[in-house]
Amino acid sequence: MRWIGLSRPDGFKPSLNLIWRPLRRQNRAMQQLALLFRNEATLRAALEATEKTLDEVLRETVTPLSKQIGDRWKNLFQDRGDLQTLPDGTMTRRLANHEELPFHSFSTGGGMVATLLTRLLVTHLATNADFCWFDEPIEHLDPDVRRHVANMLARVTASGGPVRQVLVTTYEEPLARQLASRDGRQVHLIDIRQEAHLPD
């Protein structure tokens, strides 16, 4: 093979290594780039499949819970619109004008009730927990809702589900005493100020 036109006037003739070395580097760089593109395509496909699977699992598990939470909400609040829980866990309440009220705009009492309903239902249906604990769940509720929620909490263990004990801290002593006197087998009061069981 002859190299015509590649000679410099001083007689220097480039070796094949000088010509091929940059071409090999470029070829290796192109191979690495092709590998990176293949890896990226694989990761994108895996991410898409994972997201679709997650959406499907959430839809299949949250939708039945959402319906039950909504039904229980309606039992407490016939006039406050439907409570909806989306597969991503977002809660909204449908207003009379068909607008959606986001959870962060619920009243304090409405937010507490939605949270209680969700926690009780998830504890009841989706865990092996046999107890749950609520810290002052009825303190910020209006009197009617307070009574409904207190009754609901008092009846949780009577439903025959896995939850055998519900611990509730409250300053609403008259309501707690009323529940204990009505159903002493289900409701037990403990006054931590005295560290003694209160009589019925």
The backbone region for 98, taken as left when phi is positive above 0, alpha when psi lies in -120 to 50, beta otherwise, is: left
Answer whether residue 42 is part of any domain: no
What DSSP character marks residue 158? Answer: G
Query: pLDDT of 48-102, one tens digit each?
Result: 999 999 888 877 877 888 888 999 898 888 888 899 988 888 899 998 888 999 9
Answer whether residue 165 is part of any domain: yes
Question: By three-state DSSP, how is residue 19 classified?
Answer: helix
CATH number reported for the structural domain that contains residue 113 in this entry: 3.40.50.300
Question: What does each C-alpha distance from 162 to 15, 141, 148 come to in angstroms?
Answer: 83, 27, 22
pLDDT at 169 over 60: yes
Write out the residue range of the structural domain in which residue 122 sits.
108-200
Task: Tell me which of 97 and 104 has the higher pLDDT.
Answer: 104
How much is the pLDDT for 1?
A: 45
Answer whether residue 188 is part of any domain: yes
Domain count, the chain: 1
Q: What is the mean pLDDT of residues 159-174?
A: 84
DSSP string, 50-97: HHHHHHHHHHHHHHHHHHHHHHHHHHH-TTS--EEE-TTS-EEEE-TT
Answer whether residue 97 is part of any domain: no
Task: Tell me which of 97 and 105 has the higher pLDDT.
Answer: 105
